[in-house]
């Protein structure tokens, strides 16, 4: 006997009557109508999605702008022969990251973060500040700074952590 056919007690239909599938309508008229209308609506909706209004450039710029922006200002060069103000250098070149801890920078005044760095020695800190380390660029991203100005900023950071 073939599967699905034969008498009602066969092992394939488990006792349920097996009507002749060829005689059953696959879809009645209301079902065909619903399917046809659904297909037409789906095509219309897809066509409508393709029509987009032009967005002005200013609005686009607002929508895609970054969440935050960090800008560092160039430090004013020290007066010839005058003392270098490490605090001012820190505020203009270093504070953007070291005040907030951005990009993994140790926060200014955090004794726990600065303790091991200070223990390694000033020369090690100077080398990191002048040449860059991890996410920190050389000279804190301000190449116009002199080595002495960078060292003064490092000295200021060390004084905040003691």
90-121: pLDDT as tens digits: 888 888 888 888 888 888 888 888 888 888 88
Q: What is the pTM of this model?
A: 0.50
- Domains along the chain with CATH numbers: 1-47 (no CATH), 86-161 (1.10.760.10)
Per-state percent for the chain, helix, strand, coil, to nearest 5: 55, 0, 45
**Residues 134/64, Cβ–Cβ less than 8 Å:** no
Helix (H, G, I), strand (E, B) or coil at 136: strand
Helix (H, G, I), strand (E, B) or coil at 117: helix
pLDDT the model gives residue 68: 65
Computed on alpha carbons and rounded to an integer, the radius of gyration of the chain in Å comes to 37
**Residues 93/85, Cβ–Cβ less than 8 Å:** no
- Token pair for 56: 């002005």
C-alpha to C-alpha distance for 93 and 142, rounded to whole angstroms: 7
Report pLDDT digits (tens) over 21-75.
555 555 566 777 888 899 999 988 887 776 667 778 888 887 787 776 666 666 5
C-alpha to C-alpha distance for 128 and 44, rounded to whole angstroms: 62
**Residues 88/156, Cβ–Cβ less than 8 Å:** no
134, pLDDT greater than 60: yes
- Token pair for 120: 């390694």
C-alpha to C-alpha distance for 128 and 64, rounded to whole angstroms: 35
pLDDT band per the 50, 70, 90 thresholds, residue 148: very high
């Amino acid at each position: 006997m073939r599967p699905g056919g034969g008498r009602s007690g066969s092992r394939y239909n488990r006792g349920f009557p097996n009507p002749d599938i060829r005689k059953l309508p696959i879809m009645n008229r209301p079902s065909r109508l619903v399917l046809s209308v659904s297909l037409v609506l789906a095509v219309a909706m897809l066509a409508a999605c393709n029509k987009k209004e032009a967005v002005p450039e200013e609005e686009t710029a607002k929508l895609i702008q970054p969440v935050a922006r960090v800008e560092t200002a160039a430090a004013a060069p020290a007066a010839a022969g005058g003392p270098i103000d490490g605090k001012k250098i820190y505020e203009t070149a270093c504070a953007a990251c070291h005040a907030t801890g951005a990009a993994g920078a140790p926060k200014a005044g955090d004794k726990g973060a600065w303790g091991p760095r200070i223990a390694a020695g000033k020369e090690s800190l100077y080398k990191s500040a002048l040449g860059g380390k991890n996410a920190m660029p050389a000279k804190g991203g301000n190449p116009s700074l002199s080595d002495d100005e960078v060292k003064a900023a490092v000295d200021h950071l060390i004084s905040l952590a003691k």
